[in-house]
Structure 1
Amino acid sequence: MSQRFRTPRRALAAAAATAALALPLAACGTGSDGDPDHGSAMGGMHHGATPSASVSASDDGMASMPGMDTASTANGLAAAEDGYAMTSPASALPAGRAAAYRFAITGPDGRPVTDFAVDQTKRMHFYAVRSDLTGFQHLHPAMAGNGTWTAPLATLRPGTWRLYASFTPGSGAGKGKGFVLSRTVKVSGMVMTSPLPQASGTVTVDGYTVAVKGDPMAGMAHQLTATVSRDGKPVTDLQPYLATYAHLTAFHQGDLAFAHLHPETKADGGHGGPTLTFHAEFARSGNWRLFLQFRTGGKLHTAALTLRVG
């Protein structure tokens, strides 16, 4: 840790940020991000569940101070990077019911950040992924005036979950830079893991077949294409979702490294498809679990498939 994070002023500021997170849920307010693009859930999860209070505890060994990275940066596995940190009092969440996860992003001065730039129509993208990649949620939490974010998670299966915050500061030292920070939580109960499905270029969800093509190599930029069809016919009525026709994220098998595959197809009315293109960069080789989200008829669909990266 650098010397600048050892000063009493920094420590007091970080402690104050953590204390603010422990406020009752009602104090978090409703924020300003509620809309139909709220998020997606898989694996027995549902949308719009009423959140319940989370369990307050320290995160599994990760200190809530800026500058204390717990893993390599630039892959979403660190709790802090370049002086920005994801802080939370919760290291556990209840099983069998919806739960609210509260967190804050602190800046280099140790204070909660409240100014965030808009990225794909949102100031914060939040993801919850189970360690075996069988669970996935993509939410857009609400921020209270004190910088506390509240993510209303749908029911989580027992096991270890990694929670990611993807954001861009709107001011300060990190203005304009995209960050992905994460922490882990435990969900109590009997843990039943499932093997990762084998790599496949196609998957069917809600009657739609999604085919992904591309031969990505680790550390290199590549283009991936996703084609959506239904009953063997091309789908051309994709509706806008987060300012594009599909949102694509990926997580590495084993360490859960994060990759956001940026869409190259802009939304222009409700007639998207059937083919969508994405700019893909994967940090390492191996199996990645892809979650592609798209909307038709006002309903959000989430297709999951395994991609092998060389």
Structure 2
Amino acid sequence: MSSFALPTRRLLAATLTGGALALTVVACGSSSSMPAMPGMDSTSAVPSMSATGTATPMPLMSGMGAMSTGDGLAATSNGYTLTSTTTTLPAGKASGYRFTITGPDGKPVTGFTVDQTKKLHFYAIRSDLTGFQHVHPTMASDGTWTAPLAALTAGTWRLFATFTPDTGAGKGTNYVLSRTVTVPGMPMDTALPAASTSTTVDGYTVTLTGDLMAGMAHPLTVTVTRGGKPVTDLQPYLDTYAHLTAFHAEDSAFAHLHPTTAVTSDHGGPTLAFHAELAKPGSWRLFLQFQTAGQLHTTAITVHVS
């Protein structure tokens, strides 16, 4: 498993089962209202792993924040390392995962650029792509972060940290690093749901439409409805109306991009635009997060990229 800094943008094409979908994968949000559905388990922990390999970082893109491509499957990239002594986390109860981000000089990094209102975003995903959690850790003055994780189920988990240093050699570069942890017990894996173009959560229907072509980036449109009627009361959440995060079915590779729909008022929807960049063929599990009436909704949908 190799960690990576975000390399120079790679535009990839994808033909999606159940309809061509242009995907913009975004990171963000904690899953406070996770529905009970296959592939969506609110518990999250992640197995520990060492880094192997590096990647070339990608600079910030004007107008779109710190965008990233690559798979994030390593703990070290371009001299930056996600460091932790934790290799196991308890099952069935909330826990805190402590870690630091060290720079090329081996010292903890304490200066980060704010991205979508946070200095660092943290994700946990189980190896079968259930148990998704997106949380925002707190950092102590010495650079030690603590990520608050909800109860975890037995199995192997991968933990991702996304951040942009505001000083040093990596200034302005968005990094995605990860480690794994093990949660003891008898793992009960869930089969990946079939690919689809729509899903529901808390009474809302989310539909994906778009078009992807090989070697090119295309827009993805996400439409949110309820009871067959357009939803227009999406509230800003972490400086956007919705967030998409994707994980590859075979290796849990991470994809995270910002939406292209700007926040212009307290109410958004029903359609939201994204920009697609999925680097690998195969099945991906997308996690969409949006907020209405102060409640965060999180749903998941599988797409197939050829």
How far did 1:261 drift?
A: 2.9
SS of the aligned residue for 2:190 comes to coil
Q: Aligned partners of 2:29 and 2:137: how far apart in 1?
A: 8
Is 1:45 matched with 2:42? yes
Q: Aligned partners of 1:71 and 1:219: how far apart in 2?
A: 24
Q: Aligned partners of 1:254 and 1:77: how far apart in 2?
A: 12
Is 1:79 matched with 2:70? no
How far did 1:215 drift?
A: 3.5
Q: Aligned partners of 1:284 and 1:46: how far apart in 2?
A: 27
How far did 1:191 drift?
A: 0.5
Greater helix share, structure number: 1
Aligned partners of 1:250 and 1:261 also within 8 Å? no
Q: 2:87 pairs with 88, 91, 106, which one?
A: 91
Distance of aligned partners of 1:136 and 1:168 in 2 relative to their CA distance in 1, 3 Å threshold: same
**Matching residue's letter, 2:191:** P
Q: 1:69 pairs with 52, 65, 82, which one?
A: 52
SS of the aligned residue for 1:268 comes to coil
**Matching residue's letter, 1:39:** S
Is 1:184 matched with 2:180? yes
Aligned partners of 2:41 and 2:130 also within 8 Å? no
Deviations 1:124-161 (A, max 9, x none): 00000000011100011100000011000001111000
**Matching residue's letter, 2:138:** A
Distance of aligned partners of 1:296 and 1:140 in 2 relative to their CA distance in 1, 3 Å threshold: same
How far did 1:71 drift?
A: 7.3
Could you say which residue in structure 1 is the equivalent of 2:189?
A: 193
Q: 1:113 pairs with 105, 109, 112, which one?
A: 109
SS of the aligned residue for 1:39 comes to coil
Could you say which residue in structure 1 is the equivalent of 2:276?
A: 280
Alignment of 1:70-219 (within 5 A): 70=53, 74-216=70-212
Greater relative contact order (Cα 8 A, min sep 6): structure 1 or 2?
2
Q: Aligned partners of 1:265 and 1:285: how far apart in 2?
A: 26
Deviations 1:25-80 (A, max 9, x none): xxxxxxxxxxxx96215445379xxxxxx9xxx944x2xxxxx5357773110110
Question: Aligned-residue CA RMSD in angstroms?
Answer: 2.2
Consecutive unaligned residues in structure 2, runs of 5 or more: 1-27, 35-39, 57-69
Aligned partners of 2:29 and 2:238 also within 8 Å? no
**Matching residue's letter, 2:178:** S
**Matching residue's letter, 2:258:** H
Could you say which residue in structure 2 is the equivalent of 1:242?
A: 238
Identity score, percent? 63
Could you state the TM-score of these two structures normalised by the residue count of structure 1?
0.79
Could you say which residue in structure 1 is the equivalent of 2:24?
A: none
Q: Aligned partners of 1:222 and 1:251: how far apart in 2?
A: 19
Consecutive unaligned residues in structure 1, runs of 5 or more: 1-36, 48-53, 63-67
Distance of aligned partners of 1:250 and 1:38 in 2 relative to their CA distance in 1, 3 Å threshold: closer
Distance of aligned partners of 1:71 and 1:121 in 2 relative to their CA distance in 1, 3 Å threshold: same
Deviations 1:171-206 (A, max 9, x none): 100000000000000001110001100000000000
Q: Aligned partners of 1:218 and 1:109: how far apart in 2?
A: 40
Q: Aligned partners of 2:277 and 2:198: how far apart in 1?
A: 20
Structure 1 or 2, whichever has the larger Rg, is 1
Q: Aligned partners of 2:43 and 2:179: how far apart in 1?
A: 22
Aligned partners of 2:159 and 2:178 also within 8 Å? yes
